[in-house]
Structures are given as structure tokens and as C-alpha cells.
Amino acid sequence: MLELLWLLLPVAAASGWLAARKHHRQARSGDSVNLLRFSSDYFRGLNYLLNEQPDKAIDVFIKLIDVDSDTVETHLALGALFRRRGEVNRAIRVHENLIARPSLDAAQRNLAVLELAYDYRRAGLLDRAEALFEKLIESEEHRDYAYHQLLDIYQQEHEWGKAITTAEALASVSDECLNTVIAHYHCEQAEILLQQQLYTQAQETLQLALQCDPLCVRASLLEGELALTQAQWQQAINAFQRVGQQDNDYLSEIIEPLQTCYQHLGRPTAFIAYLQSVLNTDAGMTPILELAKILKAQQGEQEAADFIVKQLHKRPSIRGLDFLLDLALSNSSSITHEHLLLLKDMTTQLLKNRSIYQCSHCGFRGKTLHWQCPSCKQWNTIKPIQGIDGE
């Protein structure tokens, strides 16, 4: 309460100065009654404030400052202060009182509506905030910002249809290219349809995503998963292999499902050929390790070890070293075995605790692939980590 007292004292001082200036003009014209009433109200507000009754003090100061061109900014500042302090209900009262005044011009009213929309959103009253931001779309000054606020609300509420419509409207009136974001909105819809087993609608929605953004990796991965669900192995292969053409940083996400598809089709050599085709494309360790496992099964551990050593010279990797240690442990002497076992334990712990994905926008790291970063809320910025401790 003491902190709130210090917050309101400057507001009280500003209220007194603005109101006194106005009433001083009235007093010079002979309106001494109003001046006396001002003094009484002002000191009554101060008394509430000093007696730790901030709600009553707020009411007095709001009524004391008549809304005109001199005091609108004071009301806006007072409400913003309350909102920043977490006193959202008080902020709402200030801004609702301001909007109710008929003397505001269009620019002032839009500012007050914007502040009230902030208040509602901060209070979790998203429907009310949405309605106010929709009004602000009609204002050219606040239009783009209102569209962005609406997009944030629709994302929070998972209203993907509204998000698509709003993003398309924003793109049509601004220079922003939102194709990537809109494609993700379509993918969000497709995931819901997949959960509901509405496969035809899901496929149609994924096609809309790819029309919006032909490089949408997420849409291709979902299309591959959809084909897997329906045992459409070749269609799944086509979708997964498209990922490598869209962004080979995501190749690690498709190796396992591709192997499943080729196994069901009885075409293991085709899978090997695909792995070999991506070796020189900075595809990371996942296809290399998969090839090493096949070499071990078909030609023995020595061939697999030679292959891994050759690849590690080109692309140092903890995952590659861990696989090599596994091979060495299987046929080492007892003394060497103990040393290798220690190294193996270390690499196992490193791999167990490491992050697999990282956001290129804010640096957020995690073990799960998110298409929207949980930290900075950007879309399509998280990828598998590359380098010695990554792919």
C-alpha cells in the first residue's frame, strides 16, 4: 500500500495543478464558488490517499480533472501506471471513464480505446479486447498494430480460422509478407483435423499451407504422417523427401519414417541409396549413423568404424563419437575397455542432457521441435542444432 501511495502522489499533484489552473481561470471571471468546491474536493482526495484509501482517492481525482485537451494525457498516464503495476481493474476504471466523456476528439478516443484494449487483454478479458481492437482497425493510425494484437489473441485462443482471415487482411493493407505464418495457421488446423481422423479435410488444409508457402517443412512432415496413418507408403516417401528439398536442416526428422516406408515396400536398397545421396548436403549425423548401422549389419563392425572415422574427420560430432565408442567397446581389451567405458559414460551423459533444437531468433533451446518458439513466439525459427554437439 505504501508503494501505491508513492505512485499516486505525483498523480495527485498533477491533478491539483491542472484543476487549479482551470479553476483559477474561472475564479478570475468571478466563479469563486467553483474554486472553493475544487479546494474541498482536492483536499478530500488527498485525505483519502493519506489514509490509505486509494480507490476513493482515484474516484475523487478522476472527477476532479474534467476531461479536456489539457487532461486527456493525464488520464492515459494514470491508467497506464496502474496497468504496469498490475492494478488492472483500476486502469480499466480510468480508461472507461475517459471514453465515456463526449468531449474527446477522434484521435484522443482512439488512444483511450487502445489503452482500454490493453487493460482487457492484461485482465484476460480477451473477447472484450478483441472487440476494441476490431474497432481500431478502422483507424489508419492504429490499424496495423490492432491487426497484430488480434493475431496474438487468436493464436492464444487457437482460433486459427480467424487468424488466417486477419493475417490475410493485414498482408493486403501493409508491406508485410505473412505467407509463412499463414501456412503454419493452416498446419495448426490440419493437426486438429488429424486428431479427429478427418483425413480428407486434413489433406486439403495441408495443400492450402503449401500453396501459401511452398517451403513449409511442417506441412510436408504432416502430409507424410497422414500418408503413414493410411499406409500410403509411396505418398509418404514423396512428402518426406520433399523436406530435404525445402530445408535440409530438418533431414534428421525424416530418416526414421522414411526407413519405415521403404521397409514396408520391401525396398531397403532404395533407402540406402537415399541416405548416400544426402551425405554431402550438410545433412547432419542422423543419415550417417543410419548408414553406419546398415554397414555394421551387412559388412561388420570394422567397415562401420572406418566409415564413421572418415565422416568424423569431415564433421566432428559427439553423436558420431558415441557410436564409435560403442563399436570399440564390443571388441577391446580389458584395460582399454575400462578407459573406453569412461569415455562412453561421458558421451552418454552429454547426449542425454543436450538440447536438440534451437531458435534462431532468440536462442531458446529445447528437446522438442516447436513450430512456434515458446520464448519469443516467432514462427518457423526453431531448427535442429548443427555442429559438434548437434546434428
Please tell me which of 25-39, 222-236, 247-261 the model is most confident about, judged by mean pLDDT.
222-236
Q: How confident is the model at residue 324 (pLDDT cuts 50, 70, 90)?
A: confident
CB environment 341-354: b (16+ within 10 A), e (fewer)? eeebeebeeeeeee
Return the CATH number at 256: 1.25.40
Q: Are residues 46 and 141 in the same domain?
A: yes
Q: Residue 30: give the domain boundaries.
A: 2-172
What was the pLDDT predicted at 390? 53
Q: Which residues participate in the annotated binding site?
A: 359, 362, 373, 376
Q: What is the DSSP letter of 254?
A: T
pTM: 0.73
Return the CATH number at 383: 2.20.28
What was the pLDDT predicted at 325? 77
Residue 190 lies in a domain: no
Q: Which residues participate in the annotated binding site for Fe cation?
A: 359, 362, 373, 376
R_g of the chain, CA atoms, integer Å: 32
Please tell me which of 209-223, 279-293, 303-317 the model is most confident about, judged by mean pLDDT.
209-223
What was the pLDDT predicted at 183? 96
What was the pLDDT predicted at 60? 62
Please state, rounded to an integer, the average pLDDT across all residues of the chain.
79
Q: How confident is the model at residue 175 (pLDDT cuts 50, 70, 90)?
A: confident
Q: What would the grid cell of residue 315 be?
A: 564433421
What was the pLDDT predicted at 32? 44
Per residue in 52-95, pLDDT (tens digit) is: 566 666 666 666 555 444 567 777 777 777 788 787 888 888 88
Number of domains in the chain: 4
Q: Are residues 133 and 165 in the same domain?
A: yes
Q: Are residues 91 and 234 in the same domain?
A: no
Nearest CA to 178 out of 360, 380, 361 is that of 380
357 φψ region: left (φ > 0), alpha (ψ -120 to 50), beta (else): beta
Q: Are residues 111 and 229 in the same domain?
A: no
What was the pLDDT predicted at 123? 87
Per residue in 342-371, pLDDT (tens digit) is: 566 656 766 666 677 888 888 788 878 888
Q: Which residue's C-alpha cell is 531397403?
A: 268
What was the pLDDT predicted at 349? 67
Q: How confident is the model at residue 104 (pLDDT cuts 50, 70, 90)?
A: confident
